[in-house]
Structure 1
Amino acid sequence: MAVQAPIGMRSRSQNQRRKRIVQTAAALALRGGVEAMQMRAVAERAGVALGTLYRYFPSKMDLVVAVVTEELDLLETSIGRRPPTHETAAGRTVDVLMRATRGLMREPELADALVRSLILAEVQTELGTRITDLLWHVATRTPLSGEGAAAPDRDDRGYVLVGSLASIWIFELLENLKGRRDTDQVRARLETAAVPLLASFESADA
């Protein structure tokens, strides 16, 4: 009779398998765009059965969102290591949004997939909430993790205003993708919106 692996070991193995799938998909996307992220190709290169891949990611869009989420993880790590130093909440949040813009625009098809997942809600995703949470931490100068970290109150007025700025960024990212705005124009428009939206954070910093 086969002996089953302990639950903790199975969980680690599943997490490693999922991570391998996402990294494989990301590598394919970097070489050939989202079109290259064919489910069968991802499964073959990741060394998993196609059915196993579909258990983790029921659709290609779910897999794309997972790759974009990995990019967001890297952004959060980068911010933890090198937080924005601007004196104002508006300046700090725009700094982070422009880092995200530059990162995503290195692979425009992934950026397009992010926009579609947020605007069209093609799949269930926490990306919008995670982006707003990140901006709230930057605006309030609270750590993302570790000592001093705090969860935002998502009903708080300040959090709602930060969420509004995130929504503006998504629209500006879409305009950038369509070639109707360049990066400098996106920054200028985000700065114009961020100053009045986040004015309440400045009094809190004072």
Structure 2
Amino acid sequence: MAVQATIGTMTRSQTQRRRRIVQTAAALAVRGGVEAMQMRSVAERAGVALGTLYRYFPSKMDLVVAVVTEELDLLEGGIVRRPPTADTPEGRALDVLLRATRGLMREPELADALVRSLIMAEVKIELDVRITDLVWRVATGHLVATGSTDTDEATADVDEIDRGGVEYVLAGALTSVWIFELVEVLKGRRDVDEVERRLYVAAERLLASF
């Protein structure tokens, strides 16, 4: 069975090749959604052999997750550089989710890829946790706003997260509401303004005890 290449053990050229593959897949997703991210098409456009692609990403879902993870990295990096300034936990959490919504709506096909990956059983927990961690950190004031691009510095406080605590559970509930609202936007049943109003109410109620 093919083994996915581990980022931490890659050479510089391997890291660059992996990034090129992910960027190529993202570009295809922007134009045609997850369906357009066919492994053979990605390999051809990225200029790598199909076998090489499978060494980095054993399945299409692994590739989808990599694309979505890069989008989350960009979101988190932007929030670390320019943290929410609201005075309340619910205001800061709402800022995070609205930035994510607006960013995704600029590329609705990528938003569709995110939602699909979130609801897939084999990857849901990892990505849900990633988003909930960010909401919790911002809402509770645990975000490290160093201004540095060093990932270790920017996420140095992750070990402080109590994922069994009441506040974390409530942040997770708010994240679940956001995912549902994002689905409604993608289906054309909500606009972003309505989602903002609904998320505000949910954040106000769920995070009132923070």
TM-score by length of 1: 0.85
RMSD: 2.1
Structure 2 regions of 5+ residues with no counterpart?
1-7, 145-151
Mapped contact 2:64–2:117 kept (Cα < 8 A): no
Shift in CA distance, 198/21, structure 1 to aligned 2, threshold 3 Å = same
Structure 1 regions of 5+ residues with no counterpart?
1-7, 202-206
Q: Are positions 1:36 and 2:44 aligned together? A: no
**Within 2, Cα distance between the matches of 1:157 and 1:125?**
18
The AA in structure 1 aligned to 2:157 is: A
Shift in CA distance, 125/69, structure 1 to aligned 2, threshold 3 Å = farther
The AA in structure 1 aligned to 2:186 is: L
- How far does residue 103 in structure 1 lie from its aligned partner after superposition? 1.2
Deviates more, 1:174-183 or 1:146-155: 146-155
SS at match of 2:157: coil
Mapped contact 2:174–2:202 kept (Cα < 8 A): yes
Map of 1:141 onto structure 2:
141
Map of 2:3 onto structure 1:
none
The AA in structure 1 aligned to 2:52 is: T
**Within 2, Cα distance between the matches of 1:124 and 1:183?**
24
Map of 1:199 onto structure 2:
208
Bigger radius of gyration: 1
**Within 1, Cα distance between the matches of 2:57 and 2:83?**
33
TM-score by length of 2: 0.83
**Within 2, Cα distance between the matches of 1:54 and 1:125?**
24
Shift in CA distance, 125/56, structure 1 to aligned 2, threshold 3 Å = farther
Fraction of identical pairs, as percent: 72
**Within 1, Cα distance between the matches of 2:118 and 2:185?**
16
The AA in structure 2 aligned to 1:98 is: L
Deviations 1:139-182 (A, max 9, x none): 01112463873421101110110000000100000011111110
Aligned residues, how many? 194
Mapped contact 1:116–1:122 kept (Cα < 8 A): no
The AA in structure 2 aligned to 1:149 is: D
Q: Are positions 1:89 and 2:89 aligned together? A: yes
Map of 1:4 onto structure 2:
none
Query: Post-superposition, which runs of at least 4 consecutive aligned residues in structure 1 deviate over 6 A?
Result: none
- How far does residue 127 in structure 1 lie from its aligned partner after superposition? 1.2
**Within 2, Cα distance between the matches of 1:114 and 1:135?**
17
